[in-house]
A = this chain, B = another copy of it.
Amino acid sequence: MESLKSLKENVAIFLPENGLEEKLKLAEKENRSLRIKLGFDPTAPDLHLGHAVVLKKLKEFQDLGHQIVILVGSFTAQIGDPTGKNKSRQPLNADQVQKNAETYINQLSKIINVDKAEIVFNSDWLDHLPFSDVIQLLSKVTVAQLMHRNDFNKRFIENTPIAMHELVYPILQAYDSVQINADIEMGGTDQLFNCTMGRQLQETNGDAAQIVLCMPLLRGTDGKEKMSKSLNNIIGLTDEPNEMFGKTMSIPDDLLEEYIALATDFSIEEKANLNERLKSDNPMLIKKIVAKNIITQYHSEKDAEAAEAFFNNQFQKRNDDNRVFEPIEIDSLQITTEKISVLEVCHQLKNDLSKTAVRRLIESGAVQINGEKSTDPLADFLVEKETKIKIGKRDFFELK
């Protein structure tokens, strides 16, 4: 099962552990496709690379012939935040939901084949759910189960108010799974609890329980929090190529492995190869490869090339900062071997400063070599023509 190995790649949580294998066998035995649910909140239709982690997994299933079901959470979006405390959850009317859903579907088409996907709105069944059925639904779930959800439990213990309707929302998400007869529900790892409710409700209803596949949460360009529009750390699927390139170049180096795994569409072997190169190559080189791959996915290879050229050009300009680089003849450097330390080179260029002062400049991040900060005074300096060295705010040198 080559496809199984690929389907399992990157998945953070399988519930139950062997559930995927069993559902795939079932589909084969019953000669049918699996119904794979992904819920979507139509209040925030801007998709980013974080969403893409899940969507690309969906695409894999779609390519194997399975049925994607996109669930638009129109019911709750039309209610908004009934307490009025959450300003970002203003109630939407049906038109706004429809418009946001269209925006969303349009963005989905960058990853999955939306013509083959089923798009459903949960207001279709929730708007007219009689109150007596609501009570029946609520009776299937206990308060303790809901309170076990991490954030509820924390808030309860800390006496942070939990309004009653908040406890109801996970049950609604579960009810959606019953309605659409989901075999698999996908989501980020933060959706594990809600997806698990679906399993329970399907079983209570006499249906087979869906399995749950949770994908890791991609961190945003800040390298700290999960990618989220409200944190202003996203790379959007509809960002222009140049913006995508620049944002990708801005991520911290230690995020590269995560982005290679989750944001690129390289093969498993190519990814392993890049990770190997990470150990020795300048991270900026790998970032450029990752950035071009991302742009190729959401725009085109040509766009990726153009974005790189634009970035290099901009980068050049930024470093130029409208100043003339002082040309330094390589021969003028007092070098003993081919390599000397950053500290030695900088001290030779700025011999009006003491060696200690230069060391401090380097350690404080005030020295850039080819646009990259160089904070280790004793790091090797590769003597090469066209190397650009910036010391402090005003001194620019270029080896000739």
What's the nearest-Cβ distance from chain B to residue A59, in Å?
A: 34
Q: Indicate the member of A82, A135, A142, A156 with the most B CB atoms within 10 Å.
A: A135
B134 A134 Cβ-Cβ under 8 A: yes
Please measure, in the bound complex, the distance between the C-alpha atom of A171 and the C-alpha atom of B167, giving whole angstroms.
14
Please measure, in the bound complex, the distance between the C-alpha atom of A143 and the C-alpha atom of B151, giving whole angstroms.
14
What's the nearest-Cβ distance from chain B to residue A152, in Å?
A: 8
Q: Which A90-148 residues have a C-beta within 8 angstroms of B?
A: 126-132, 134-136, 138-144, 146-147
A82 B135 Cβ-Cβ under 8 A: yes
Please measure, in the bound complex, the distance between the C-alpha atom of A165 and the C-alpha atom of B79, giving whole angstroms.
20
| Copy total for this chain | 2
Chain A facing B: main interface SS: helix
A163 B141 Cβ-Cβ under 8 A: yes
> Contact check: which of B134, B142, B147 meets A163 at CB < 8 Å?
B142
A159 sits at the interface (CB 8 A): yes
Size of the A side of the interface (Cβ < 8 Å), in residues, is 36
A378 sits at the interface (CB 8 A): no
A3 sits at the interface (CB 8 A): no
A26 sits at the interface (CB 8 A): no
What chain B residues lie within 8 Å of A141 (beta carbons)? 163-164
A333 sits at the interface (CB 8 A): no
A379 sits at the interface (CB 8 A): no
A161 sits at the interface (CB 8 A): yes
What's the nearest-Cβ distance from chain B to residue A81, in Å?
A: 8
A131 B131 Cβ-Cβ under 8 A: yes
B168 A138 Cβ-Cβ under 8 A: yes
What's the nearest-Cβ distance from chain B to residue A222, in Å?
A: 33
Residues of chain A touching chain B, judged by Cβ–Cβ distance below 8 Å, are 75-76, 78-79, 82-83, 126-132, 134-136, 138-144, 146-147, 152, 156, 159, 161-165, 167-168, 171
Q: Kindly list 8 other residue pairs between chains A and B, CB separation below 8 angstroms, not including A76-B135, A139-B163.
A: A75-B132, A134-B134, A138-B164, A142-B162, A143-B167, A144-B156, A144-B161, A164-B168
